[in-house]
Amino acid sequence: MQDVAGLEGGPPSGRAGLSGAWRMLGSVHVQANIDPSDPVAETRWLDALASDPVNARGLPSGIVAWADFSAPSLDALLDAHAQASSRMRGIRQVLNRHPNPRLNRAVHDFLADAGWRDRIGALRRYGWSFDAQIYWHQMDSLAALAARHDSITFIVDHAGMPVERDRDGLAGWRKGLRTLAACPNVVIKLSGYGMADIGWTVDRLKPYVIEPIECFGAERAMFASNFPVDRLMSDYARLWQSYDALTRGASNAERTALFCGTARRVYRL
C-alpha cells in the first residue's frame, strides 16, 4: 500500500510538528493479487470500500491494479478495471527476474519480450502509470522501456529492491538508480525495506533511503509503507518515524514532496 501521509497540523515540517499524531491524508492500494483469475474483483471491492459512507475519507484514494500485458485479453481487462472504479490510477505487473532462480518472482522475463514491451503503450489510453517491481539487473531494460514510452510515468517500487548487499550488488543498484533517474518519466517509491532486512534499524535503512533521494530528487521520490506486509517487520508508526528521522535535514519543500506531494502528483489524487 502506498500511503500519502502527513502530520497533524499539516505536512511534516521539522521537529516542531512531531507533537501531533500521524494521520493519513490519502492512500493508494497497490495490487494485492487476491485472485489472479479475476483481478477486477479486487478493483470492484476496493471501490466499494472507498464509496461506503462509513469510510469518511474515501480510502483508498487511488488504485493500482494488476494486468498481464502479455495476455490476449489485455484490452478487455484494462477496460474492465476502468469501468470498475474511477479511482484507478495505474497497473502493476511484478517483473522480478534474477540470475539466481530462487529470487525470480515473475514467471517470464517480460522486459525481454518485444510484444509485452509494445503493449505497455496501452496505458496511454487511460492516462495510467506503471508500477515496476524489479531488481538492479533489470534497471537498464526498464530505462529503455521508459524512454520508448516517454508519455507514461513509471514508478520503481521498493527502492529498486536492493536485496543484494555485497559490493557488486550495491554497485549495480547504485548504477541502475542513476540510469533510471536520467529518465524524466521515472519516479521511485521508497518502501519494502523489511523484505531485504527484517531487523532493520534507522541507521541500516539510511543508505537505501538517502541514495535514491539524491539520485531522483525529492520531487521524484515518495515514501510508502508496504503495509500489511511490513507489519511482519515493524509497526506503522515506527516506519514513518524512521522516515521522518532520516529527512530532518531536508527542507520543508523536500519533506512535503517525500511524504505526500510526489504521491499526490504522480497518482493524481
Query: Residues 79-128: pLDDT tens digits?
Result: 999 999 999 999 999 999 999 999 999 999 999 999 999 999 999 999 99
Query: Residues 145-156: pLDDT tens digits?
Result: 999 999 999 999
Q: Residue 5: its pLDDT value, please?
A: 45
Phi, psi of 193 (to 5 degrees): -65, -30
Cell of 247: 529527512
23 strand-pairing partners: 6
Instruction: Write down the CATH superfamily of domain 2-266.
Output: Metal-dependent hydrolases (3.20.20.140)
Q: Which residues contact 212 (CB under 8 A, 6 or more apart)?
A: 159, 160, 177, 188, 190, 221
Q: What is the mean pLDDT of the chain?
A: 91
| Cβ-based neighbour number of residue 8 at 10 Å | 11
Q: Which residue, 165, 152, 155, is CA-closest to 195?
A: 165
Task: From residue 202, give the alpha-carbon distance in Å to each of 35, 100, 248.
Answer: 35, 29, 13
Q: Residue 95: its pLDDT value, please?
A: 98
- Is the confidence at residue 212, as pLDDT, over 70? yes
Q: How far apart are CA 229 and CA 224, in angstroms?
A: 12
Tell me the residue type at 226: N
Task: From residue 167, give the alpha-carbon distance in Å to each of 171, 173, 223.
Answer: 6, 10, 26
Compute the average pLDDT of residues 165-193. Answer: 97
Q: How far apart are CA 226 and CA 135, in angstroms?
A: 17
